[in-house]
């Protein structure tokens, strides 16, 4: 096995979030489904931005958020994502590196600008996301960093990227490199609509390439086109070595070969912003795995990290998750 310099290497969209408040009427006017993510093109991004209120910008991206969480736990991480040579690309690179995450992806010198996600926060704390994938949409096998992948213990792949054929090819290549180097392959389903668009490819990838699957209830039932969570859990057991299914306030379920473990959610005084809950749950879970914790403990660390993230605005941790896990007695 190659030298394992990284606990986890993530591959995903490199996105700058643009966050503004809006009222319910704004969503209605623009025909936006509250709480969901949709993909938009450059023209739509410009039109929507024009009508949005004053905004703040911060780094985002689903697996990038997970990697930021893993760094906060004190693990050694890397991230692979495609940015352009522009100011948003500079923001993304700065933020992820400043967390101690290795990020060596060279910015693309031409083509679309760095991805951005226009996020509308309604008074109830829900977020409605409009993603212009920009440079991220062209993610291809050439964007992989084979040495970084080979040097990782777990490679964590973002399902959102599965919308394009060259990105799918990149994922299969990443999985091949990982396997050869003795690394585990983890996949997040990311989005029920994306799962619906690429059901067969997701199914094949999970069966043939992924060792660990992260999905929420909506995503896993959509994947297997079943009506109940129980059916989905029963199905995934035969498809994947380890599936981790999250259910918002109902906690999570870990489905391993012979085992089913229910994990209670962590209580939070006030849910301020649910974005990133899944991303940070995955961070905590993977952290536990890299430390050899029992699966039930991995789940509890995941719940803990998710609870931290939904207690404040933004999908990146605001305190040391390692300290949090220590205080909870979940790690040494």
Judged by CB under 8 A, the residue of 86, 138, 147, 173 near a second copy is: 86
Minimum distance from CB of 274 to a second copy (Å)? 19
Q: How many CB atoms lie within 10 A of CB 218?
A: 18
Indicate whether 312 belongs to the interface with a second copy (CB under 8 A): no
Judged by CB under 8 A, the residue of 67, 68, 186, 253 near a second copy is: 68
Minimum distance from CB of 68 to a second copy (Å)? 8
> Most distant CA pair in the chain: distance in Å?
56
Q: Evaluate the CA torsion angle 294, 206, 280, 320 in order and state its sign.
A: positive
Six-digit token string for 232: 């989905």
Q: How many CB atoms lie within 10 A of CB 158?
A: 28
Judged by CB under 8 A, the residue of 25, 43, 54, 123 near a second copy is: 54
Interface pattern 2-31 for a second copy (x via CB under 8 A): ------------------x-----------
Indicate whether 133 belongs to the interface with a second copy (CB under 8 A): no
Q: Return the residues of window 88-127 that contact a second copy according to CB under 8 A.
A: 88, 91, 94-96, 98-99, 113
Indicate whether 208 belongs to the interface with a second copy (CB under 8 A): no
Indicate whether 224 belongs to the interface with a second copy (CB under 8 A): no
Interface pattern 266-305 for a second copy (x via CB under 8 A): ----------------------------------------
Listed in sequence order, the DSSP H helices in 74-185 are 87-98, 146-150, 165-180
Judged by CB under 8 A, the residue of 8, 37, 40, 52 near a second copy is: 52
Instruction: Render 271-328 in DSSP notation, one character per residue.
Output: ----TTHHHHHHHHHHHHHHTT--HHHHHHHHHHHHHHHHTSSSSS-SS-HHHHHHHT
Quick one: which of 266, 151, 158 has its CA closest to 205? Answer: 158
Cα 27 to Cα 54: distance, rounded to the nearest angstrom: 16
Quick one: which of 187, 176, 175, 185 has its CA closest to 153? Answer: 185
Indicate whether 58 belongs to the interface with a second copy (CB under 8 A): yes
- List of residues contacting a second copy (CB under 8 A): 20, 49-50, 52-59, 68, 86-88, 91, 94-96, 98-99, 113, 314, 316
């Amino acid at each position: 096995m190659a030298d394992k310099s990284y606990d986890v290497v993530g591959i995903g969209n490199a996105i700058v979030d643009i966050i503004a408040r809006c009222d319910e009427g704004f969503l209605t006017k623009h025909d936006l489904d509250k709480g969901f993510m949709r993909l938009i093109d450059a023209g739509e991004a410009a039109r929507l931005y024009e009508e949005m209120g004053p905004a703040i910008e911060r780094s985002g991206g689903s697996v990038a958020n997970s990697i930021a969480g893993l760094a906060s736990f004190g693990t050694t991480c890397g991230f692979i994502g495609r940015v352009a040579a522009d100011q948003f690309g500079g923001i993304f690179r700065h933020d992820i590196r400043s967390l101690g995450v290795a990020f060596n992806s060279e910015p693309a010198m031409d083509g679309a600008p760095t991805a951005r996600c226009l996020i509308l926060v309604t008074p109830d704390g829900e977020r409605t996301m409009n993603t212009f994938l920009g440079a991220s949409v062209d993610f291809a096998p050439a964007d992989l960093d084979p040495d970084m992948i080979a040097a990782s213990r777990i490679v964590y792949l973002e399902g959102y990227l599965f919308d394009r054929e060259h990105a799918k090819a990149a994922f299969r290549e990443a999985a091949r490199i990982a396997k050869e180097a003795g690394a585990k392959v983890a996949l997040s389903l990311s989005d029920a609509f994306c799962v619906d668009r690429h059901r067969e490819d997701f199914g094949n990838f999970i069966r043939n390439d992924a060792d660990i699957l992260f999905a929420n209830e909506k995503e896993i039932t959509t994947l297997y086109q079943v009506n109940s969570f129980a059916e989905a859990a029963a199905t995934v057991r035969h498809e994947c070595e380890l599936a981790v299914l999250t259910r918002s306030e109902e906690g999570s379920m870990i489905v391993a070969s012979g085992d089913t473990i229910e994990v209670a959610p962590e209580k939070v005084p006030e849910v301020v912003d649910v974005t990133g809950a899944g991303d940070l749950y995955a961070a905590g879970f993977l952290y536990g795995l890299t430390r050899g914790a029992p699966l039930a403990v991995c789940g509890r660390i995941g719940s803990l990290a998710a609870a931290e993230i939904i207690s404040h605005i933004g999908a990146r941790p605001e305190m040391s998750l390692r300290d949090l896990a220590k205080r909870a007695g979940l790690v040494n």
